[in-house]
Structure 1
């Protein structure tokens, strides 16, 4: 081991080598710092670009829907401006009842009512004798192989029948043709006397009679 004296050739060479190495390391440190700063700046610029792009996309997206809504509204306004609505009719208020004029008349009841022609009010015999007109309303209830028929006899000027009768009726085919069997059941709401030689129970048949007031007279 030798110690060089100051100013010798060896000391100068050593000092130059040390100095060169320090400069090289300083340049490497500077280069690394510059690279890190460049990377940071690049990342910042990239994030800023992404943010600006997202903001631009959002603005364009919202502006697109606004334009579409405006176009739809304009189209609807144009279509409605070319349409003409017309109404026709009359609404009147009579006796607190709202009625629409021009509608077909509603039938008040589906129950048939004899007409003047059906009653034949103007019909008369050749003898010119007075004629009393009455009419009969029939109520029919199916029963077994026949039906229970109740007749209500009315006078034109009265609301209640002046006479009621009930009978059982059925038709059978015989050798001579079709035959109708009729059994009288009741009169004016009262069951007729039970025949002694008969298998028919008039009281049971009478439960199917339809009386005008809903009960026996």
Structure 2
């Protein structure tokens, strides 16, 4: 084994070699650290970009839905403004007695249908070609109920002495938009109570007590 004295060419060469090795390892460590920092920064920027993109996409989607809702509301408003609601109904006699002017004879509280309509339906065509005409009418009996009324209808056919059919219903006013109409619910037919619907606001058994059914003894 040989020992070299300080400052000898061999020691100088060894020191330079060790120093170069340490500098190379330091540069490698710095390069690795820079690589990790670059990866971390790239990941952060990527996630931030994805978050901003999702935020802008969500905002754009909500804005589009809001615009669509506004357009739909405007379209519905215009449709309702240009729509005309039409209602139809029956002519009702609210008095207890059916009266006809002109001196037409009446039998048992109701008009003589044969005398009233005797000349109706006649034409100049032969009897075989003329269509048969059948006369019918309805008598209404009305009882006030809350803000509406309970109505009983007697349907007479021709000159029959009693109604062919009877029905009882309750009617109440109902507002729809700027117009007003009526809500009609039938509770009984020919004196028989109809089944009570599960979600009906009308109590059929209570309403039926005010129905005025046909009674020949009271005419």
TM-score tier, shorter chain, comes to 0.3 to 0.5
TM-score w.r.t. the length of structure 2 is: 0.43
Task: Answer with 1 or 2: which has the greater Rg.
Answer: 1
State the TM-score, normalized to the length of structure 1: 0.43
